[in-house]
Amino acid sequence: MMLLPLLKISDTAGSEATILPYGAILHSLRILVHGQPREVLVNLPDWRDYITDQNYIGSIIGRVANRISGAKFRFGNIEHNVTANEAPNCLHGGAQGFGKQVWEIVEHSTHRVVLSYLSPNGEEGFPGNVKVLATFEFVAPKSLRISYDAETDAPTPIDLTHHLYFNLASGAGGAIEDHLLQVHSDSVLELDRTYVPTGDVLRLPRTPFDLNKATKLGDLLARKHYQLTRIGLNQSWILRPVEPAFRMIAPDHSLELAVSTDQPCLQLYSGLNRENAPAGALAVEPQGYIDAVNRFQFPSPWLVPRERYRRSTLYEFFDAPKVDASRPLTGTGRRASTTGALRS
């Protein structure tokens, strides 16, 4: 078995991230909190453990995040069948998606890592050769940005993200259910029993998923709603063009995570099945619309030759102030438009 390096980067405030070439995995993110480093991610002890991991812990997701219904889609008159690794659907790019590949190290400096992967035509059933760059960079103290860049030689769907499991209290002993959450959104996608969209959108005031005001995860999970399943929270919010799109605050208010992204949606997955490795963490996945490749009412995920796919997400950490959960947390800016450019 080959040995892979651990790629460490740091900021000027003493925070540190560790990236693995295997799966372009963000293995560790340690943020300095009141002078002490705190691990904010769920991770595995050794990089070899990620080879058999089925929970996508810390890994890049591609070619297409989330689910493709029926594990198939069409472009023009051609039907493409992809791996049904969550039968009957394709999940997170298939059984051996981008998170199960060894990436090439393009650049490694004090603050920045760039990884590259060439996905061959037909991998997991997807068309076209696709070259992808993933960049991890501390752009300011306690501020890590992950950027994605891709190009193809044939039309193919692309939607990239990272499957990061957060617990901001991992160094303070707090439970994930006691974290405060906030999402700038007016609606969530309605999902069927296999977690693909029905085509309907649920307006938030009539659901437990209205997180425009800071809400404890545990309070949300205690509510009754047909979209809350045995695995807890597994919803996709359609984001308003506000920065940050998402906030998460530790139970003792010692640390706040603010996520800004140019993706149109945000998937949150609580992973509360106690047989699951990420139990006690919240997966935060900025991404496109679920099953957009089969849903013509959603922005297109198609990338074509001579065009570039570019997306980025910024993870900023702050010493969290006292928060009044009865009042909305305010946004600070606008996000870039993410409307798709092409339909087959």
For 94-152, the pLDDT digits (tens) are: 999 999 999 999 999 999 999 999 999 999 999 999 999 999 999 999 999 999 999 99
Residue 328 in any domain: the answer is: no
DSSP string, 250-280: -TTSS-EEEEEESSSEEEEE----TTSTTTT
Residue 1 in any domain: the answer is: no
Residue 83 in any domain: the answer is: yes
What digits encode the pLDDT tens for the residues 245-294?
A: 999 999 989 999 999 999 999 999 986 454 554 568 899 999 999 999 99
pLDDT band at 307 (very low <50, low <70, confident <90, very high): very high
- CB count in 10 Å sphere of residue 313: 25
Q: Which domain holds residue 110?
A: 7-318
Mean pLDDT of the residues in the chain: 89
Residue 278 in any domain: the answer is: yes
Give the residue-averaged pLDDT of 212-241: 90
Residue 330 in any domain: the answer is: no
Residue 189 has pLDDT above 60, yes or no: yes
Residue 84 has pLDDT above 70, yes or no: yes
The total number of structural domains that make up the chain:
1
Residue 43 in any domain: the answer is: yes
Residue 243 in any domain: the answer is: yes
Give the residue-averaged pLDDT of 333-339: 35
What was the pLDDT predicted at 173?
A: 58
What was the pLDDT predicted at 340?
A: 30
* Whether the model pTM is above 0.85: yes
Q: Which of 72, 60, 231 is nearest to 147 (CA)?
A: 60
Q: CATH number of the domain that 152 lies in?
A: 2.70.98.10
Question: For the chain, what percentages of helix, strand and coil (3-state, to nearest 5) are there?
Answer: 10, 45, 50
What was the pLDDT predicted at 326?
A: 55
Residue 131 in any domain: the answer is: yes
Instruction: Give the bridge partners for 72, in sequence order.
Output: 81
What was the pLDDT predicted at 153?
A: 98
What was the pLDDT predicted at 324?
A: 58
